[in-house]
Chains A and B, each alone.
Chain A
């Protein structure tokens, strides 16, 4: 063991490790319970339906809601990848998001570049921040991850608040953003770009899970020491996980500025971190469908109560939900569903 640490013992830092869990670790338990057509057909049908959804004839408010859902879902999936697949606990998603938002505005509005060039650059910027975060957490105990990643958001906020070029504490408003020559103020365009990124990212994660790469990531999650002993360079995979997650989260942030039309230091704030954390924990960190369902449901809930008196309590509700979920449903909705589904399938198989 070469990694120095202040940890007196080595506490179990895996978020959802269960001692009484009848399931073996999930990366060995990737058994197919559903028939092949359902495994491939269902996601494709859902993706096509999601792309075609705006043609059903919805009003402008619903178009904005869809765009917002796509942005939040992209951010939530980036957290799912980092926490659920690679097992790296992050409170730094708001840091990526904010960096993406500000880099996007500088490139697209201040410099007047087209989104087709700027968005990939935003992704690169997010990936660079992710790599920096990985460096900072490489030698530290996993328990420090939370505070280390959170610190990045605080630094980002502190820096942009004091730079006049970026609007300072007041922020910036009213942008002229373009994507392939089209004005990027149409919520549907934002929705489709967000959805496109989301689908690409989800396909990447799904195919990764079955590859050498994904197995290495998950081995690092299950037991970093065991993984290193069989030759998995966990540090290298940590760079990959943070970089990829940061890239997509930054793109989400950049789309958010196009959606919100204003940008101030609050994009680095705790409200966003809490929202995404709630989605990931409630949905079930390891379950992509669970995270998606939670992203759509909680975003819809938030927009439904917007303007009502209870909207003041949303953050309180979210935080309380995280506490209760961790206490009673540590694997989230997704985990609970798949456990009962497996149990059902097992019973059927036996009888």
Chain B
């Protein structure tokens, strides 16, 4: 029982981090139909900016820099690169984002080295004992920060101003006809996804140790989480990611820690075969 509770905590923590990436996917996918592969690499970039570069600057400043850069990278890459490729074919833009992820990975590898870098948590090393369950300050912070961000996003989308975004999710062309500035909204959503990715990187680094190669792994796992729940809505994408985190923790705790990556993708393939719309997603008809 104690082990079970401990695994639930671990699963919630990793699931929240996957959820941050998955939210980015869901927001961009519903708004533009684009799957941004580079989100994982952006998370990695955020982690490096917060923990490795500019060691002389106080950490909170570096975290702010990391968040700002996350938003800027996201917005610039859409407006300068993906948008033009997406006009021709969405798949070209997806390949482009994959290539851009490799570019980020290589830039970081060349400038900071390809080895794992330890990242001390900004929340200190305090460990809380709740009954039989131990939870570190960092783990607690991960859950709290993600919960705040998720609720913030949901509240924003539910508000009156958020109605414009929802209108765009439902039908971008009609929204544009009704006078909603979809281009500006898309830019804002890209900024949001960039910030979420940077937060994911900052939160994940002390748990996983930083390396240039963590990016694509995060990108893939976040995507699996989003697919598991359903990419079409933000809530289902988050729920799917947390579910995936729990599944992974249980598998690692009870079956085999070595083969957890294989499990994640086995789940992925199964979902795609059995229920491509996601466990919680609604099956939508393709418009012809």
Contacts and interface: CB of A to CB of B under 8 A. Distances in A.
B95 A281 contact: yes
Interface string A282-324: 0000000000000000000000000000001101101110110
B93, B94, B216 pick with most chain A CB within 10 angstroms:
B94
Contacts of A7: 33, 284, 286
A150 B35 CA distance: 14
A316 B103 contact: yes
Given A146-B37, A150-B216, 7 more contacts: A1-B288, A12-B90, A17-B89, A144-B35, A144-B272, A313-B106, A327-B81
Interface string A121-164: 00000000000100111111111101110111011011101100
Contact of A11 (B33, B220, B277): B33
B284 A323 contact: no
B33 A8 contact: yes
B89 A14 contact: yes
Contacts of A154: 217, 220, 261, 265
B163 interface: no
Nearest to B33: A11
A28 interface: no
B261 A315 contact: no
B92 A316 contact: no
Interface string B212-231: 01001100100110010011
Q: Taking chain A's interface residues, is the majority helix, strand, or loop, or is none over half, making it mixed?
A: helix
B285 A4 contact: yes
Given A147-B223, A159-B259, A13 B281 contact: no
A316 B262 contact: no
B269 interface: yes
A335 interface: no
Given A140-B276, A158-B261, A12 B99 contact: no
Interface in A12-35: 12-19
Interface string A69-106: 00000000000000000000101000000000000000
Interface residues of A, number: 61
B91, B223, B232, B261 pick with most chain A CB within 10 angstroms:
B91
A312 B258 contact: no
A327 B286 contact: no
B269 A319 contact: no
Interface in B33-77: 33, 35, 37
B94 A146 contact: yes
B90 A151 contact: no
A230 interface: no
Contact of A158 (B169, B224, B259): B259
B287 A17 contact: no
Given A15-B91, A146-B37, A316-B110, A323 B103 contact: yes
Contacts of B281: 6
A-B interface, 8 closest residue pairs, ranked by CB to CB distance from nearest:
A319-B102, A316-B106, A322-B99, A11-B33, A158-B261, A4-B283, A151-B265, A162-B258
A330 interface: yes
A218 to B, nearest CB: 16
A318 B95 CA distance: 13
A16 B92 contact: yes
Contacts of B227: 144
